[in-house]
Chain A
């Protein structure tokens, strides 16, 4: 797969930054509009394995559009969530973006790193989620859309309760 040209690279990076900002600002409706209808969204954590043994990731989130919408309907509605009311403060740092042409015309295979900080109420120390992401972005009439996302957390034990943050 060919690395994309600079113009497309900048477009993809802008997409990822805009997406992170929408999630940080809890603009979930706008974020959902960036998803393609066949979105498959997964978050995995790692099993600690000896060097040389096969990696064993396990999924902690695996959703298509309906399930993802349901999660967002929950965390975006103050009446329907305890974990996100009061809302946690999140800041997503996206870096190390690499983009190649994808499997189909108009598709791009994009990898990035994400460092997401979650500040919860009065808990003095915040929590970090650190992951590598593998995305498939797709050109639609209205710009790029997210079609696949795999978030591989560099954690085998999550640190603070159950994840209620979109990564």
Chain B
């Protein structure tokens, strides 16, 4: 059982003024259960990318908050998402990760549903009461399902704000990665999946704006970078980099190449695609890409994205979902993407680079996961929980966003502070404490 509302509201988990966050929120199972109800069953959660289900009948099985969910494309090309559970006795109607189905046939007693969720037959229709209303017993549809730039989000909350409003200012920052060509991005392979002994928020915070871990956690790949350029790129990046905080808790960090560093050692967007980007994007958003080395960010609550490269290796756009499993465990899903228009050689190179750096065996990922598990292990005891985590480097900056810019959201310099992380936790705290499921949580 999740704790009662009064108990949740009384908690002082996130102290923005003092820059402190209780360790409880990174380990305790009762808080994890409250998160499922108060955040994941109420807000927008990423389900799948449209190119994972290109053809009618294509499906993928995912989780939407606490519930197993199947996402499917119907005969008309429309996308649906359903609770993956038969309305009769509850078996999953899909038990594979992905595939293509003609109908959903429950393997238990044979209830059969169309791709759009309609109940076609129970196989014992003759025994049903005459007034049985079949239209009320289709697969339970996710009440809100919307896409943005190919990203399919769902919500169990019928009153959740429109997705575009929910994304708010962060949409402007993700367009240059997901909508920089007429065809958009495509997922190049099924998502990597792995379990990690760490709370999901550690991943979300790491991506929303944690420039401080890069030179220590990732000393390996930065040192081994073949042109010895990555480290210089980061250590000189401070002046040319910043964090963005959107009004609904999303955030990202943009790291630019410092003046004097040779772009050819870093900028690897293929020349033949740059014209495509220029044509597809408004000038302001195309300018965002110029001399950009790394963008990394999180869409609240648990979808992250990164485009980066090390040295002259290939850029790769990566999507990342941190699915909570318990207070101390998550399942991570990770997709590699490229422009649909790109050559097959380019896509293969992106996929190879994506696997080398990130994903279930990535050289960056190995060390992140080790240290997140270590933090979780060392924090998961009553003694450690007396000592809240420090977010102090947010404090000198959090009330002083840049004023001389015309990009959306609040912009904070330098990039290597914890402003975006503390703002993420502030938003988390709001969602946890708003008792009315229909309320929209804004800054």
| Interface residues, chain A, with chain B CB atoms under 8 Å away | 43, 45, 47-50, 53, 56, 58-63, 66-67, 70-71, 73-75, 77, 79-84, 123, 156-164
Contact = CB atoms under 8 A, between A and B. Distances in A.
List 3 tightest A-B contacts by C-beta distance, closest first: A161-B369, A80-B220, A158-B194
Contacts of B371: 82
B221 interface: yes
Interface stretch (B92-100, B159-167, B262-270, B404-412): B92-100
Contact of A83 (B95, B351, B352, B369): B369
Given A59-B355, A60-B355, A82 B195 contact: no
B229 to A, nearest CB: 15
A160 B360 contact: no
Nearest to B371: A82
A88 to B, nearest CB: 10
A157 B224 contact: no
B224 A161 contact: no
B249 interface: no
B356 A74 contact: no
The majority secondary structure among interface residues of chain A is: loop
B361 A163 contact: yes
A71 B363 contact: yes
B359 interface: yes
Given A61-B361, A160-B195, A161-B194, A74 B221 contact: yes
Nearest to B97: A48
Contacts of A63: 352, 356
B138 to A, nearest CB: 22
Contacts, number: 122
A53 B100 contact: yes
Contacts of A73: 224
A53 B360 contact: no
A161 B221 contact: no
A43 B226 CA distance: 23
B120 interface: no
B366 A81 contact: yes
A161 B220 contact: no
B359 A157 contact: no
Interface string B105-145: 00000000000000000000000000000000000000000
Interface of B: 95-100, 189-197, 217, 219-221, 223-224, 226, 331, 351-352, 355-356, 359-363, 365-371, 373
Contact of A156 (B193, B224, B356): B193
B68 to A, nearest CB: 13
A80 B355 contact: no
Given A43-B361, A59-B189, A61-B361, A53 B96 contact: yes
| Max chain B Cβ within 10 angstroms of own Cβ: one of A49, A81, A83 | A83
A59 B356 CA distance: 10
| Max chain A Cβ within 10 angstroms of own Cβ: one of B193, B351, B365 | B193
5 contacts: A49-B98, A59-B351, A82-B366, A157-B193, A162-B368
Contacts of B97: 47-49, 156
| Max chain A Cβ within 10 angstroms of own Cβ: one of B97, B195, B359, B367 | B367
Contact of B361 (A49, A50, A80, A162): A162
B197 to A, nearest CB: 7
A67 B356 contact: yes
A81 B367 contact: yes
Nearest to A167: B361
A47 B98 contact: yes
Nearest to B356: A67
B195 A162 contact: no
Given A58-B190, A58-B191, A60-B355, 18 more contacts: A48-B96, A48-B97, A50-B99, A58-B189, A61-B361, A62-B355, A62-B356, A70-B224, A70-B363, A71-B356, A74-B221, A79-B219, A83-B370, A157-B193, A161-B365, A161-B366, A162-B359, A163-B366
Nearest to B195: A159
A81 B356 CA distance: 15
